[in-house]
Structure 1
Amino acid sequence: MQEHTQHTEHAHHAAHTGHVGWGTAARATLHCLTGCAIGEALGMVIGTAFGWGNLPTMVLAIALAFFFGYTLTLRSIRKAGVDLRTAFRVALAADTLSIAVMELIDNGLIALWPGAMDATLADALFWGTLTLSLAVAFAVTTPVNKWMIGRGKGHAVVHQYHH
């Protein structure tokens, strides 16, 4: 227990002094990526399956990415015993910038990739572009999360409730 307390105090101190490792930032980004990928894929699948146009499909995918990103954070904070209102505010503070950057990069690449917006669920281009765009979004968002956590923001806020 003493070792856990010392580790927790060190991690908390590090989050507020700017000494954040890339591993911490990558784990926070992976958490964000998970929610974004679920929402993004589900939105693209729904829009494509129903034959929606590009804009409504992309709007749905982005909305679902935010929904699932926030939901994963809410779930973990609520497990720590935090009330719903506080948990919601923490999730907004922790994830909004990270999800926004991830969605901007992800959807920007899909929109710019020739033929990707017109690919169907059966096309390798659909899944390949989605996978590549999420990987690039992860790479771009990780430094953003490192910067935020180093300033006591982003997922640093979430970790206050886990200890």
Structure 2
Amino acid sequence: MLVQQSLVETTVPLVSGGWLSGIAKQIEHAFAPAREAIIPILSSPTVVGIWAVLVLVSVGVLWWDLRKNNQAIASMMRGVWSLVVLYSGPFGLLIYWYTGRTQISHDSLWRRGFRSTAHCYSGCGAGEVVGITLAQGILALGTAYVAGVTFTFAYLFGFALTVGPLMQDGVGFKEAMADALYSETPSITIMEIFAIGTDLLLASQAHMGDILFWSALAFSLSVGFVVAWPVNVALVYFGVKEGMSNPAKMGSQSTAGD
């Protein structure tokens, strides 16, 4: 009954009035079959419970590996990978395992793209969680306002994760901010369009007490990561972003120091 109610409620147009309403209706119509298939899954306490256990196990494996085998990884990237795995569970752990450990056999463009996406994802994901929780969960704002507030928080958190380390390295605020705007805006924009859009498509009428509110948020974060990865690969390839450093070199330096 609750699933059926959610399905009915989510047919409410995401934006009212004007050409935005028309676009929203077209998007809703195009994704209606997928939405109707996904919502019951994300509303299932059993499925969500299993996923929560997988996330906890994945975070535990990550922290064990960082402490046991990858102490050379910088503290910032430890935090980045912790958030990535917390958001995306086994999916995030798999990305860390094949692209972020000092034991990787060699570096590559696709690995650099994954690390760059993970760095962006950790900050933007935190901003999205804060934005959705505040705007929709606590303040119960309209959908357009929820999207606007969430975009704002995602940009703030995403830019902060780039500007902060640059300023710690001695770069001035204006220069650091200009660098963040230039290198991070395309990735953040694409990531959040799809992440926030997915969340609102699935759970725009959900409340904080509903399982769907949290499960759709988690699902939307991973969607954002997937669509942002090729964007980051392109940005690294064309030199817009440097990409995160090769972790294998950190391991080599640590071994040499020992």
On whether the aligned pair clears a TM of 0.5, the verdict is yes
The residue number in structure 2 matching 1:156 is 242
User: 2:180 aligned with 1:118, yes or no?
Assistant: no
2:133 to 38, 45, 55: 45
Q: What is the DSSP-based 3-state SS (H/G/I as helix, E as strand, rest coil) of the residue aligned with 2:242?
A: helix
Counterpart of 1:132, as a letter, is F
Question: Residue by residue, what CA displacement relative to the aligned partner does 1:34-77 show, whole Å, maximum 9, x if unpaired?
Answer: 11111111111111212222211221011110011001100111
Counterpart of 1:156, as a letter, is E
What TM-score, normalized to structure 2? 0.51
Give the 5 Å matches for 1:48-127.
Answer: 48-113=137-202, 116-127=203-214
Counterpart of 2:146, as a letter, is T
The residue number in structure 2 matching 1:128 is 215
Q: What is the DSSP-based 3-state SS (H/G/I as helix, E as strand, rest coil) of the residue aligned with 1:26?
A: helix
CA contact (8 A) 2:151 2:192 kept: yes
Distance in 2 (alpha carbons) for counterparts of 1:111 and 1:44: 9
CA 1:158–1:80: 2 relative to 1, 3 Å? farther
What TM-score, normalized to structure 1? 0.79
The residue number in structure 2 matching 1:140 is 227
1:27 to 79, 102, 115: 115
Distance in 2 (alpha carbons) for counterparts of 1:51 and 1:112: 16
Unaligned runs of 5+ in 1: 1-18
How many residues get paired? Answer: 138
Task: State the identity as a percent.
Answer: 32
Query: Following TM superposition, by how much is the alpha carbon of 1:139 offset from its aligned partner in structure 2, in angstroms?
Result: 0.9
Counterpart of 2:118, as a letter, is L
Q: What is the DSSP-based 3-state SS (H/G/I as helix, E as strand, rest coil) of the residue aligned with 1:156?
A: coil
Distance in 1 (alpha carbons) for counterparts of 2:114 and 2:210: 30
Distance in 2 (alpha carbons) for counterparts of 1:142 and 1:50: 32
CA 1:109–1:90: 2 relative to 1, 3 Å? same
Counterpart of 2:216, as a letter, is T
Distance in 2 (alpha carbons) for counterparts of 1:124 and 1:22: 35
Query: Following TM superposition, by how much is the alpha carbon of 1:22 offset from its aligned partner in structure 2, in angstroms?
Result: 1.6
Q: What is the DSSP-based 3-state SS (H/G/I as helix, E as strand, rest coil) of the residue aligned with 1:121?
A: coil
Distance in 2 (alpha carbons) for counterparts of 1:147 and 1:56: 31
Q: Which structure is richer in relative contact order (CA contacts within 8 A, separation 6 or more)?
A: 1
CA contact (8 A) 2:166 2:176 kept: yes
Distance in 1 (alpha carbons) for counterparts of 2:166 and 2:134: 29
The residue number in structure 2 matching 1:11 is none
Q: What is the DSSP-based 3-state SS (H/G/I as helix, E as strand, rest coil) of the residue aligned with 1:118?
A: coil
Distance in 1 (alpha carbons) for counterparts of 2:232 and 2:193: 15
Counterpart of 1:30, as a letter, is A
Once superposed, which parts of structure 1, at least 4 consecutive aligned residues long, lie more than 6 Å away?
none
